[in-house]
């Protein structure tokens, strides 16, 4: 398993793949750890999680540079990611006891009836490369604190990040086996899922990967949470603050090199402000500094892998050949590394990749909508349903439109984002289940009714 720097194409380090024997040993350790971890007082688990936040902060620069080297994230964004991981640890360290406290119910005189939240066991997490620390802590912080143990199968291009995350929990004082990073090839996932010692699974990734995990887990009657792709609409109505919509829209499209499930991807703009928005938006997109991700002045680094950039470029080319207009960008940069420029497409024909596929990179598809109703219809014209963003100066109008957009989360006058305090997840081809907040920590627990007569 080679870690390749996408900014240079050079190998950083090689790692040994986990074998079937390694997998068996890891699951044995997880099962052994679970028997004592599940009975550890919740307050102690919260304290350990707070300690994990401290480890993250103490090693922020080292972990940030590791992310930048392995997947090309600009160093300033990598530091922010480490800080966000510490935040989610802080959040559950403070609120897990409230989230997992017993719920009492009406019952006959002389009886006590309550719901108790008890862990399930070993949870398999199949995580992606685009936010190599945050995606993992988004599952680990709540699920471990609820009393489960975790086995991470991370993306193959960020093995150093996988090992560093295991280090965080080890340095924080977690018992051996409570959290393990398993550098296993993808063809072992099915066997891991079928193992009786694994009780549940969570995946963030592509639609095909999610369907494969859901199918196997379904056969084994194991709970899953899936956060898959998105083609998030960014709706700009005729009364929007265009300065804010342009600035935030470009950020929402290009952050993390555009490699985010909840990045703004389809910009749906009311006809009355379309031309003005497009002119400003193109200027803003072209202002992004693309280059060395270790440079503090860089806004956007390389795409995470050469083949991913080639796939993105193929989608752009196919869309233009189908009739879309290329306004800016659209060609890999003539330099070492997997660099692709901020790109804008307009006049998007129905059925081309920019219309009905997820563009996982800095490519914005801009659609014209004749009125509010048409904007909503275009926003919902997708199999995905992860996030959405609506822009209007009328807050009541924004909330009304937000209710009509079919997505797991819709933000008004704000970019779509994940936040430890609120549930996160999608519908349709964007998956099911929720992460974060109280809802997230209770996804992988046994909600047990206890009736005492």
Average model confidence (pLDDT) for the chain? 98
Collect all residues with Cβ–Cβ distance below 8 Å to 133 and sequence separation of at least 6: 63, 67, 81, 82, 85, 161, 164, 165
Cβ distance 99 to 149 under 8 Å? no
Q: What is the pLDDT of residues 342-359, one digit of tens each?
A: 999 999 999 999 999 999
Cβ distance 222 to 193 under 8 Å? yes
Under the banding of pLDDT at 50, 70 and 90, the label for residue 168 is very high
pLDDT computed for residue 4 by the predictor:
96
Q: What is the pLDDT of residues 203-216, one digit of tens each?
A: 999 999 999 999 99
Tokens representing residue 147 in the block: 């009393």
Q: What is the pLDDT of residues 400-425, one digit of tens each?
A: 999 999 999 999 999 999 999 999 99
Task: Indicate if 409 belongs to the active site.
Answer: no
For CA atoms 150, 200, 304, 14, give the dihedral sign: positive
Cβ distance 56 to 89 under 8 Å? yes
pLDDT computed for residue 282 by the predictor:
98
Following DSSP, what letter does each residue of 85-102 receive, concatenated?
Answer: HHHHHHHHHHHHHHHTSP
Q: Which domains can be identified in the chain, with CATH numbers?
A: 2-228+428-452 (3.40.605.10), 232-412 (3.40.309.10)
Cβ distance 33 to 149 under 8 Å? yes
Q: Stretch 9-24: mean pLDDT, rounded? A: 96
Task: Indicate if 81 belongs to the active site.
Answer: no
Under the banding of pLDDT at 50, 70 and 90, the label for residue 7 is very high
Q: Stretch 131-148: mean pLDDT, rounded? A: 98
* Length of the chain (residues): 453
Cβ distance 267 to 367 under 8 Å? yes
Q: What separation in angstroms does the CA of 401 have from each of 134, 210, 341? A: 30, 30, 32
Under the banding of pLDDT at 50, 70 and 90, the label for residue 110 is very high
User: Which one is catalytic: 46, 60, 70, 227?
Assistant: 227
Residue corresponding to tokens 């596929």: 357
Bridge pairing between strands 343-346 and 325-328? antiparallel
pLDDT computed for residue 21 by the predictor:
97
Following DSSP, what letter does each residue of 226-247 receive, concatenated?
Answer: EE----EEEEE-TTS-HHHHHH
pLDDT computed for residue 406 by the predictor:
98
User: Which one is catalytic: 161, 261, 352, 409?
Assistant: 261
pLDDT computed for residue 120 by the predictor:
98
């Amino acid at each position: 398993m080679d870690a390749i720097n996408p900014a240079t194409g050079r190998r950083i380090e090689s790692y040994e793949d986990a074998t079937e024997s390694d997998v068996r040993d890891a699951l044995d350790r997880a099962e052994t750890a679970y028997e004592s971890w599940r009975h550890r007082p919740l307050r102690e688990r919260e304290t350990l999680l707070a300690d994990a936040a401290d480890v993250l902060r103490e090693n922020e620069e080292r972990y940030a540079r590791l992310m930048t080297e392995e997947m090309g994230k600009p160093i300033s964004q990598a530091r922010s990611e480490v800080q966000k991981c510490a935040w989610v640890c802080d959040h559950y360290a403070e609120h897990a006891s409230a989230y997992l406290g017993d719920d009492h119910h009406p019952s006959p005189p002389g009886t006590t009836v309550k719901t108790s939240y008890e862990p399930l066991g070993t949870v398999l997490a199949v995580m992606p490369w685009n936010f190599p620390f945050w995606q993992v802590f988004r599952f680990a912080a709540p699920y471990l604190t609820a009393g489960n143990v975790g086995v991470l199968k991370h993306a193959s291009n960020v093995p150093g990040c996988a090992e560093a995350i295991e280090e965080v929990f080890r340095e924080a004082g977690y018992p051996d086996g409570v959290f393990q990073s398993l550098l296993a090839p993808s063809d072992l996932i099915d066997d891991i899922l079928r193992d009786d010692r694994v009780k549940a699974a969570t995946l963030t990734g592509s639609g095909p990967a999610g369907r494969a995990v859901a199918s196997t887990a379904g056969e084994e009657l194991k709970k899953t949470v899936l956060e898959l792709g998105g083609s998030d609409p960014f709706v700009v109505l005729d009364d929007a603050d265009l300065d804010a919509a342009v600035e935030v829209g470009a950020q929402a499209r290009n952050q993390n090199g555009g490699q985010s499930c909840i990045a703004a991807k389809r910009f749906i703009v009311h006809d009355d402000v379309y031309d003005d928005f497009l002119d400003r938006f193109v200027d803003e997109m072209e202002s992004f500094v693309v280059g060395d991700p270790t440079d503090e002045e860089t806004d956007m680094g390389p795409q995470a892998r050469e083949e991913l950039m080639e796939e993105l470029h193929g989608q752009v080319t196919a869309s233009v050949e189908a009739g879309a207009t290329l306004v800016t960008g659209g060609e890999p940069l003539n330099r070492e590394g997997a660099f692709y420029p901020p790109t804008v497409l307009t006049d998007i024909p129905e059925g081309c990749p920019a219309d009905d596929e997820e563009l996982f990179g800095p490519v914005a598809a801009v659609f014209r909508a004749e009125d509010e109703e048409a904007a909503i219809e275009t926003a919902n014209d997708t199999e995905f349903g992860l996030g959405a963003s609506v822009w209007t100066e009328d807050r009541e109008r924004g909330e009304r439109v937000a209710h009509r957009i079919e997505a797991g989360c819709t933000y008004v006058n704000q970019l779509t984002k994940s936040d430890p305090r609120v549930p996160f997840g999608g519908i349709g081809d964007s998956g099911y289940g929720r992460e974060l907040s109280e809802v997230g920590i209770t996804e992988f627990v046994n909600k047990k009714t206890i009736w005492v007569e």
